[in-house]
Amino acid sequence: MKEAKYIWKDGKLVPWAEATTHILSHTLHYGNAVFEGTRAYMTPKGLAIFRLKDHTKRLLNSAKIVCINSPYTQEELENAHIELLRANKDDYKGNVYIRPLIYLGYGVMGLYHMNAPVNVAIAAWEWGAYLGAEGITNGIKVKISSFVRNPTKAIMGKAKTAANYLNSQMAKHEAIAYGCDEALLLDDNGFVAEGSGECFFIVRDGTLITPPYDNTLESITQATVIEIAKDLNIPFKQRHITRDEIYIADEAFFTGTAAEITPIREVDARSIGKGTAGEITKKLQEAFFAIVNGENPKYNHYLTYIN
């Protein structure tokens, strides 16, 4: 990880190495914390955060779902992002990944969490393609996981919580152990849910298809891709996908703040399409990167410039 000068913590800019927390912090023991992944891109007009309002709104929605009372409003959190990136501006030479976190700190122990103090931190560091630059260009290898996506009757999947990601971590570990780059999880009914940290699309006969929100996080990047597809007049459906349908898809790709748009060339040792990034995937990639890099005026409202 490429360190920056400061982390924003509980209303103050703190030197990176001093942004610490106590070993008995409640979240460390019981997993109740909410977070976001947000990116800022180097545009011709300078560094710009992509869809800051939407990510901050989802962060606060997640906190509400798991009964954490944020001490900061949406506007205050948005301003904190801007303050942090301005303070670290000289440390960034490329695109930046931003991680806001609302967590339960030191003060009480035991499962009941409402009396635990609430802490908020935002870190931001320079980070390239999550699944590798080669993956962005030529696609990655994926394994359908033996772990199912956390079922909605057991845990609240619309919240982006720390605890939810133990399942994803185990799925990712399994995929890499089997020589793949990423995992794809089914839901407990056997339909495709999402990757370990991404949403999933296929293309069949020119139609873009993604699973419904029944059992997935409501992805901001996924919503952007759907919006782009409409602009490009690409037919689109949101419906259930089975694992065998993936094998005969013409194209497949992951989306997410970290993954951006990453093509999938192989699933379970079966080539997808021609075994490389498909034509529709490449069109969507080109349009997406034009938006986040500030090259499409129609989408400028999604960019918060750091001046």
| Active site residues per annotation | 160
Q: What sign does the CA torsion over 296, 299, 302, 307 have? A: positive
